[in-house]
Amino acid sequence: MTPIQLLFSFSGRATRLHFWLLVPLTWVLVAMLRVYLVIGLETEVMSYGILMLTTFGPFILVAWISLAVQVKRWHDRNKSGSWIFINFIPLLGPLWTLVELGFLPGQSEGNRYSTGVEPR
């Protein structure tokens, strides 16, 4: 799987390592960018409109990458990508997602989302 497919495609499977590297890292990068831009706004280097434009785009990009990796992790667990909606259940949903995608291994053999054997 190419890096572009890993980041932007909703098909295939992803490992726990992909989950732990990409999902938290992308959100941390956006938070750092936002802090940097807010500091710039406080020093009046940029306007509020520029702040909103420069944070909305990265937020969409990060949300897409996070969703794509999570869907691929659900596939690695041999579950439908629609399991991503479990995140909307307060407290239990994100915890369930963290355990399933972050700690439990995927299938070592092929499943309905991938015919080849991929690392878990």
pLDDT at site 43? 59
Per-residue pLDDT at 119 exceeds 80? no
Q: What is the pTM of this model?
A: 0.79
DSSP 64: H
Gap between the Cα atoms of 16 and 20, Å rounded:
6
Structure tokens at 75: 């596939």
Q: Please tell me the distance from the alpha carbon of residue 99 to that of residue 112, in angstroms, as a whole number.
A: 22
Residue with tokens 């990265």, as numbered in its chain: 58
8 Å CB contact between 74 and 14: no
Tokens 């909606």 correspond to: 85
Residue with tokens 């295939």: 12
How far apart are alpha carbons 100 and 30 in whole angstroms?
A: 25
Q: For residue range 12-57, what is the model confidence (pLDDT) as tens digits? A: 999 999 999 988 888 788 788 777 777 766 655 556 666 666 667 7
Share of the chain above pLDDT 70, in %: 81
Task: Kindly tell me if the per-residue pLDDT of 80 is higher than 60.
Answer: yes
> What would the two tokens of residue 33 be?
């960018």
Mean pLDDT throughout 98-119?
82
Confidence of residue 114 (pLDDT cuts 50, 70, 90): confident
Tell which wins on pLDDT, 78 or 38. 78
